[in-house]
Amino acid sequence: MILRDPVHGLVAFESEEEGIVETLLECREVQRLRRIRQLGLTSLAYPGADHTRFSHAVGTAHVMSRFIARMRAIHGSLPVEQRLGADTAREALAAALLHDLGHGPFSHLFEAVVPDGPSHEDWSERIVLDPATDVHRVLSSFDSSLPARVVALVRGQHELPYLARAVSGTFDVDRCDYLLRDAHFTGVNYGRFDLDWLLRSFCLGSAPTPHQAPALAIDGNKGLPAIESFILARLFMFQQVYFHKASRASEWLLGRILSRAQQLIVDGTALDGAPPALADLARTRDTSLGSYLELDDALMWTALPRFAQSSDEVLSDLAERLLSRRLFKAFELFGDDATPAGRQRCLDVARDLAQQRDLNPDFYVGIDVPQVVTFDDTEDPLTVLFSDGTEKKPGDVSFLLGRLRGQTLARPRLIFAGELREAVVSALGASATTGRTFAGGSFERRSP
C-alpha cells in the first residue's frame, strides 16, 4: 500500500507486518476519523486547518514504521525476545494507527464539555475491546490477545520500555506527526523540526532491571539539536496556534452551546436536532458505543442550525453567533490580573456588565486558562547517552531544556460577548487591553 501524504511525501506500508495497517484502514471505526477534524475549530483562525484525525492516524503509523526500522538497525546486541519481531512490530503499528480512535466531534473539545464522562482514551479502549467492532475483529484475526495488547501499548504499557515511550512519551510518534501536520495545514513554520535527524538520533539506553529491555535514549553526540528543536517546535505551536485567541474563543463559545443544550435536555426540554448520544451524556454522563460512534463533526454541524432555531433564546443566539462567525472577544490578562484572585476580579466585573445588558453571565462571560507543561524529564526515563556510556537527563545536558524544565506556559484570558467589549475595557482600564497583543503567554515553574 502506497499513499501520498502532504507532510511525509510517499507513505508506504508494504511489508507483511505492515499489512495490518491497510486492513485496519478499512474498518468503519477508523473511517469515522475522516469526519473529525484534527484541530476542532482552529480553521476559524487558520483557514487551511481542515485536516482530519484520519490523516494524522496514517501519519502516526508511518512515523512508527520509521521508528521500527531505526530500532531494528541498532537492536542486534539485544536478546531475541527484546528485539522488535514481526508480531511486536504489528502491535506497534496498530497502536500508532488507533491511538486517537475514540475522539469525539471537534476533538478534545467534546470531552471537555462532559468532564465527568468517558475520555477519548476510554472510548478508544472500548472500541478496540468490543467484539462487535470491525477493529476488534481485525486485530483478533491476527491474535486473540492483540486487542488487549494494543490498548495497553496506547496507554504506554509494554514489556519493551523503548517501544512504550515511542507510543506514549516526550518524543512519541503521535507528537512527531501532529506537530508537522498541524504546522503544514495552518501554514506556519513554528512546528517544523528535523524528524529525520530525531529518528536517527534514537538509541538504546540502560535497562530498568538486568532482565528487562533497555529504555529509549538519545545519542549525546548528535541528538541534542534534534530534541531541542522538537521541544521548541511544540512550545511555539502552543503559543501561536493551539492557544490562538480566535480558536480558543470559538471553542469556548461552542462549549457554552453544548453546555446549554445539555442543561435543557436535563430540564426536560425537547431539543430538536440533539443527537441521541448528546442526550445520553447529558442525562447519565455515558452512552452506548453505537450511539457514540455516530457522533462526528458533520452531525454536530447539522445540529447547530436546528439549535439556532430553538425557542430557548440563549441556545438560539449562541448557535447563530457561531454559525455566522460572530465570535466572542478574548484578550490576555497580565500581572495581578493573571493571578487566580485577579482572574476572579476581572470575571466579576464582566459578569456584572453582562447582567446589565440582560445577557446570562454563565453563557456570555468566562475565563479561559489554557496551559501546557513545556518540558519535563523528571518522570520520563529517556536519557542522553554519550560515547563513554554515561547517561544524563536531557535537561541536565541542554541549557535550553534545563531552563524550560518544569515550566508551565499559561495564557489566561477573559472571554465575553463582542457587544461588551467597550464596557469591559473601560471598567478594567488600560491594563486589560487597549488594542495591544501579547504573543508569548506567561511561564510558571511547577512546584516539585
Residues of the chain with CATH 1.10.3210.10: 2-241
Homologous superfamily of 2-241: Hypothetical protein af1432 (1.10.3210.10)
The pLDDT > 70 percentage for the chain reads: 96
Task: Give the residue-averaged pLDDT of 139-146.
Answer: 96
User: pLDDT (tens digit, 9 = 90+) per residue, 405-433?
Assistant: 999 999 999 999 999 999 998 888 754 44
Task: Give the residue-averaged pLDDT of 346-370.
Answer: 95
- Rounded CA-CA distance 297/310 in Å is 20
Q: Classify residue 34 by burial, with Cβ atoms within 10 Å: 0-12, 13-18, 19+.
A: middle
- Nearest CA to 210 out of 82, 53, 356, 100 is that of 82
User: pLDDT (tens digit, 9 = 90+) per residue, 188-225?
Assistant: 988 899 999 999 999 998 887 778 888 899 999 889 99
Residues of the chain with CATH 1.20.1250.30: 245-372+407-445
Q: Do residues 210 and 238 make contact, with C-beta atoms less than 8 angstroms apart?
A: no
Whether 435 has a pLDDT exceeding 70, the answer reads: no
User: pLDDT (tens digit, 9 = 90+) per residue, 162-179?
Assistant: 999 999 888 899 999 999
The pTM score is 0.92
pLDDT tier, 108 (very low <50, low <70, confident <90, very high otherwise):
confident
- Rounded CA-CA distance 49/297 in Å is 14
Q: How many CA atoms lie within 13 A of 318 on its CB side?
A: 28
Domain 245-372+407-445: give its CATH architecture: Up-down Bundle (1.20)
pLDDT at 170: 86
Supply the mean pLDDT for the chain.
Answer: 91
406: region left, alpha or beta (phi > 0 left; psi from -120 to 50 alpha): left
